Amino acid sequence: MLITQGLISKGILSSHPKYGSIPKLILACIMGYFAGKLSYVKTCQEKFKKLENSPLGEALRSGQARRSSPPGHYYQKSKYDSSVSGQSSFVTSPAADNIEMLP
């Protein structure tokens, strides 16, 4: 916001004749907020992955394993995936318990 206000006061950005610099400052504030949120996503994901008994952490860990292998290849589920929560929120057939096909 300070940068935007400085650019308006130097004449690089023009202010609105009726509303002044307020609309551009609000837009700069909103853009800064979302830029901060986007830059912190990876850090939050890593923190959730480190939680031991978290369903969200388990989902992030299994999602990372699926994304790291090439599409169309099979991967073996680890013992950790099936023993973390004791019960799964996903219903699978017995044949799909050990091997899954990735999209």
Q: Give domain status of residue 7, yes or no.
A: no
Which conformational region is residue 72 in: left (phi greater than 0), alpha (psi within -120 to 50 degrees), or beta?
Answer: left
Q: Within 10 A of 48 (CB to CB), how many other CB atoms are there?
A: 16
pLDDT digits (tens, 9 = 90+) for 27-59: 999 999 999 999 999 999 899 888 888 888 888
Residue 38: domain span: 19-62
Q: Give domain status of residue 80, yes or no.
A: no
pLDDT band at 1 (very low <50, low <70, confident <90, very high): confident
Contact 103, 69 (CB under 8 A): no
Q: What is the number of structural domains in the chain?
A: 1
Q: Give domain status of residue 81, yes or no.
A: no
CA distance to 25, 60, 92, 102, per residue, from 68 (Å): 41, 12, 22, 11
pLDDT digits (tens, 9 = 90+) for 64-97: 666 665 555 555 555 555 554 455 555 555 555 5
